[in-house]
Structure 1
């Protein structure tokens, strides 16, 4: 039996993170999402927003939660990956399930420890998202429908993202930075539409390669594209409901909204390949940057 030392385990986990988690992507997404959600929540009180130490705790906590879920997904998808992705680290033995579980435990302890500095509510909220992820692993193991039906799987798995949004918003309310009201639900709906727009965009295509898990395979390319565009429209509608379109943030918001419209036109016109992902990614980045800039420089009166 080969003994693996602690430094070797750390190195294997590090290589897994660099390959399967891509920190520059996930950390950037977490930074934009948390700052846009927190900044918008503060701006709606009529004050301009500035990031604080608590902001960085929330950003790092969301990164840790996303890493936890990525490690969990690697284990949940093992049977599928053996057939369709034989080069994945868990399949090849580049990392073991026990090492991934160790990484998940470390992420949990780190997230709980960081949020203990904020409030007990923040600890409970971030742990609830991780706990829901573990519940999903059990559900997918027990139910073939949840595991294999793409749309049902999305309905069951997406709430973990909502719980992370509730963690950000709820920890702000627990700290007394904001007073929770109905606009919090609209903010969470906005971020849900932004995330789901990209989720559908990356899984919408005219062709379905063998083993691919695409929403367009279940809905058809045109209907999947309509849902993708509709989610972007929902995000724009939520933004307009919360903030007036005029002012310094108005033009960027309009330009960002043009990206999914162009993506839909191109997808339907070309009739091959997938939804143009640069447009979907640009919509995510543009929407969140617009909200952050607004929060930094525009104090609302609403």
Structure 2
């Protein structure tokens, strides 16, 4: 019997993706984010929304962009991981820098090709997000303050998420599906608040190991908890602003506010450990899922 050799690079990349990207988390996040943003943008025009072929181009593009950014982070954080995460694939040699860079280049080509089927604007917007990710990797390597100061790092790195949101909304505008107006700006703020809620939640704890990259280590656990809760409140406020005119159904996603309220009370009451991440993740998933469902039902 002849044994067929399996190419090692695809296998190594697949193992990296399954371990470090966790498709059930990142892909689900990308899917719900795009459906919520696109669906809400269309529903607010008074038009019935249903996912289309262009919707799935946006979903695949955003998920691949998130993988692209995760691969850049792996290389960027190599020195930190040698000390704090010695079991990471790049540290152990389970994947190489050359292999990751090849995958990054391949993702760029695939994403550009996908969006070329939609519009030149879509291609430019998604490449702007990927380009900013590369710029960040270079900037963090060259600038110690950007690399080491947690809040400065967030201020510099967060815009890549904003650019992906602009890509989704801008591609809708370019396709003539929606007309750019203030609703789009509020939707982007809503998505920013949802993302920053879970970003602060996962880096908020009462205790921190030396060198740990936690916001609570910089501003204190109570202040970090207040910021975490504040972003959730901002997301709910944006929902009210956008959808209150549609009555009770329009405010359905606001029910997820119960999760950050519970998370805040639990974190402050226990005074040990970290923010309850299931509550933060539930807020993200619940908000985006209900926004997508609402977009189907509203018109």
Q: Which moved more, 1:286-295 or 1:148-157?
A: 286-295
Per the TM alignment, residue 253 of structure 1 is displaced from its structure 2 partner at its CA by 2.8
Aligned counterparts of 2:210 and 2:105: Cα–Cα separation in 1: 35
Task: Tell me what 2:132 maps to.
Answer: 132
- 1:1-302 aligned within 5 A: 7-244=7-244, 246-250=247-251, 252-299=252-299
Aligned counterparts of 2:253 and 2:292: Cα–Cα separation in 1: 12
Where does structure 2 lack aligned partners over 5 or more consecutive residues?
none
Per the TM alignment, residue 248 of structure 1 is displaced from its structure 2 partner at its CA by 2.9
Aligned counterparts of 1:141 and 1:186: Cα–Cα separation in 2: 33
Indicate how the Cα distance of structure 1 residues 208 and 38 shifts in structure 2: closer, same or farther if over 3 A, else same: same
Q: Is this contact kept in 1: 2:243–2:250, CA < 8 A?
A: no
Per the TM alignment, residue 137 of structure 1 is displaced from its structure 2 partner at its CA by 1.1
Where does structure 1 lack aligned partners over 5 or more consecutive residues?
none
Alpha-carbon RMSD across the aligned residues, in angstroms, is 1.2
* Structure 1 runs of 4+ with >2 Å offset: 245-250, 252-255
Paired residues in the alignment total: 294
Aligned counterparts of 2:195 and 2:254: Cα–Cα separation in 1: 19
Q: Which moved more, 1:75-84 or 1:252-261?
A: 252-261
Q: Is this contact kept in 2: 1:16–1:95, CA < 8 A?
A: yes
Aligned counterparts of 1:255 and 1:291: Cα–Cα separation in 2: 11
Q: Is this contact kept in 1: 2:42–2:177, CA < 8 A?
A: yes
Q: Is this contact kept in 1: 2:239–2:254, CA < 8 A?
A: no
SS at match of 2:248: coil
String of CA shifts for 1:65-111, please: whole Å, max 9, x gaps: 00110110000001111111111111111110000000001110010
Q: Is this contact kept in 2: 1:249–1:290, CA < 8 A?
A: no
Per the TM alignment, residue 6 of structure 1 is displaced from its structure 2 partner at its CA by 8.5
